[in-house]
Amino acid sequence: MTVNQIVSYEKEKAQCNKRKRAKYDEVYENGETKLAVMERALDIQANLSSEFPSMIKYMLPSHVTGGFWLGLPKHFCLNHLPKEDRMMVLEDEEGKEFQVKYLVEKIGLSGGWRAFSIAHKLLEGDVCVFHLVRPSKFKVYIVRKKCSEEVDVALGLLKLESSTQLVDNGKTEDRNDPILYSSNLEPTVDQSKNNRVDLGSEVSDGIRLSESIVDFREVKSFEDFNILVNGLVIDFEFSKYLQMKYYELCCNQNSFLHENLLEGLNCKLVAGVIAETINIADAIRAAKLTTPHDSFLTWDKTLRSFEGLGMKVGFLRARLDKLMNLLTKSRRYKEAKLEQANSNEEKLKLEAKLAEVTHTLTKLDREIRLFKQENADDLEALFREVANGPW
């Protein structure tokens, strides 16, 4: 390739990239909207397991209308996707799976992508985060251009979900798959080891339908207590310990804290909200004056998001408000004590200086009195007399 050809190629490449940037910019009303969507997508990607590769795709009109063609980053496809055309699986946040056709030469998703896009009502400006949890399976997280509080809550619980549930949900992968099964796609067996929420022990047999809607006033003991979401009993999502902790919180408020949650929320999301509410309640109980102020702010922000979904956490926020007021008073008290100590130290220095100045003044007063006794006013005449006297 000649120098001119190289220069021409680079110019054409730069113009192509400029056109792509212009397309992305056109789908957002302003820079703030674009930045907000990007930040949420990047936050989701940062919270995904690093054991699996991921990528971010911004939805353009061609992705969600008309041809419904989704081109993918070339470098990602070369490094992680099959080397031949094949069907792949897209799994959404609720666990529903969609079959799509991956075309190697065209580097993108074709057949099946239209169904996924329509089913999830994707619009231009929305962002999809693709997490390659298996060689031919993506877990897809959607960030809406017009976000809601539910998005913030889902983002806040993403760490919880990823650390308490293995990506393969107990299914096995065919190791004879013609695609090279890379070691960096293996799920981490012990990835929930350090999880704050214990969802793994003493769980029930699984989800079941509730025979009727239960009023909390009918709950007379822990044995009568069940956690219902959309008519389903989800006790199996929690250990007995967490169920007891939640029962105590509900007894304290004489109601199910989750009974006013928005209808249709994913059971996993609701379980995460409840579990995190228990964690925050325990953290509040264990808080001390030495607990960082930022921790209180984080808890309150999380609870505020839960409150937006309908969770009854106002009593926890009220307790946090009182604790933050006391923390502010304690901090001001410590600052006042320090200022007092510094002021006292400065006072001692000034008093020492004043004593020194007073001593100097006293000494000077004494000298002046002596001079007056010696008729100091005639000293100049005496000085002249001595100066002009005979040799």
How confident is the prediction for the chain on average, in pLDDT?
Answer: 77
Name the pairing type of β-strands 86-91 and 137-143: parallel
Domain count, the chain: 2
Q: Quick one: 133 and 223 in the same domain?
A: no
pLDDT at site 389: 84
139 and 220 belong to one structural domain: no
Would residue 79 count as lying in a domain? Answer: yes
Give the closest residue to 110 by CA, choosing from 58, 66, 59, 70: 70
pLDDT of residue 8: 55
Within a domain: residue 12?
A: no
Q: What pLDDT shows up at residue 209?
A: 59
CA distance 100 to 87: 6
CB 270 within 8 A of CB 261: yes
pLDDT for the residue numbered 390? 87
Shared domain for 135 and 233, answered yes or no, is: no
- Look at residue 161 and tell me if it is in a domain: no
**Is 339 among the domain residues?**
no
CATH number of the CATH domain containing 104: 2.40.330.10
139 and 221 share a domain? no
Question: Are 136 and 37 contained in the same domain?
Answer: yes
The pTM of the full predicted model, rounded to 2 decimals, is: 0.43
More confident residue, 309 or 150: 309
Percent of the chain with pLDDT over 70: 72
Domain boundary residue, one of 143, 173, 200: 143
Band of the pLDDT at 210, cuts 50, 70, 90?
low
Q: Which domain holds residue 292?
A: 216-325
Residue 148's pLDDT band (cuts 50, 70, 90):
very low
The residue type at 230: N
pLDDT of residue 39: 83
pLDDT of residue 200: 36
Percentage of residues in the chain having pLDDT higher than 90: 26
pLDDT, greater one: 176 or 80: 80
pLDDT tens string 299-356: 999 999 998 889 999 999 999 999 989 988 888 888 888 889 999 999 999 999 999 9
- pLDDT tops 90 at residue 62: no
What's the confidence (pLDDT) of residue 19?
46
Judgement on whether residues 35 and 137 belong to the same structural domain of the protein: yes
In a domain, 311, yes or no: yes
- In tens, the pLDDT along 81-131 reads 989 999 999 998 888 899 999 999 889 998 889 889 888 888 888 899 999
**78 is a domain residue:** yes
**Given this model, what pLDDT does residue 208 score?**
56
Q: How confident is the model at residue 268 (pLDDT cuts 50, 70, 90)?
A: confident
Domain boundary, last residue among 299, 325, 351: 325
pLDDT over 70 (residue 181): no
**pLDDT in the model for residue 111:** 83
The answer to whether residue 387 sits within a structural domain is: no
- pLDDT at residue number 129: 92
Q: Which of 94, 126, 143 is the last residue of a domain?
A: 143
Q: Is 173 exposed, middle or buried (0-12, 13-18, 19+ CB in 10 A)?
A: middle
Greater model confidence, 216 or 97: 97
Is 259 a member of any domain?
Answer: yes
Same domain, 223 and 321: yes
What confidence score (pLDDT) does residue 130 get? Answer: 93
Kindly indicate the confidence band of residue 22, based on its pLDDT and cuts at 50, 70 and 90.
very low
Q: Residue 33: its pLDDT value, please?
A: 67
